[in-house]
Amino acid sequence: MRHLTRPFWVLLALVFLLEAWLWDHLEPVAAWLVARIPLQRLKAGCKDWVDQLPPPATLIVFALPGVLLFPFKLLGLWLLGRGYWLGAIGLFTLAKLVGLGFSAFVFDLTRPKLLQMAWFRVVYEHVMAWREWARNEVRPIQRRIRALMFMARPGRAGKFIRRLARLRRKMHGPEPAT
């Protein structure tokens, strides 16, 4: 039974890792953009304000990017309903990237306060464990892809084709005799 559900878990792990990758790579972009804003006093004031908030209020600040982007997601649904697929996909993608980037930046500011709440710390530790699980699920596939890419290098085409044929036989069994 495990071999039947494995593709589902690998897909789930890939989606989770994509979200984590986006989070990791958009946080520095958001920080860079915020650093370019010439309002140093405003940024310092926001940090000081967050530092003075109690942990539950900090959770509201952390949720703010999602709340602010919700109308854009509704607009994306409206665009989908009207048949503007490209505009909807673009809007959803932009909202996702901006939301993840801004959330990553806000989380960096609010993390110390959020981790003071025991339930949040437990959830955070579980998410980090899931992230490690997802990496472990995908790691064997990454190794296979890297090996195939190595085999596909110029001058190795014959070995690459034989390796693909061997992999196909391993996955599907031998080809029927004609």
Residue among 48, 51, 68, 56 at smallest CA distance from 120: 56
Tokens of residue 6, six digits: 């494995």
Q: Are 72 and 95 in contact (CB under 8 A)?
A: yes
Q: Residue 83 gets which letter from DSSP?
A: T
Sequence letter at residue 92: F
For the segment 5-50, what is each residue's pLDDT rounded down to a tens digit? 667 766 777 776 777 777 677 667 766 776 776 666 767 787 888 8
Sequence letter at residue 104: A
For the segment 40-62, what is each residue's pLDDT rounded down to a tens digit? 676 778 788 888 999 889 989 88
Tokens of residue 143, six digits: 């190794």
**Who has greater pLDDT, 46 or 93?**
93
**pLDDT higher than 90, residue 78:** yes
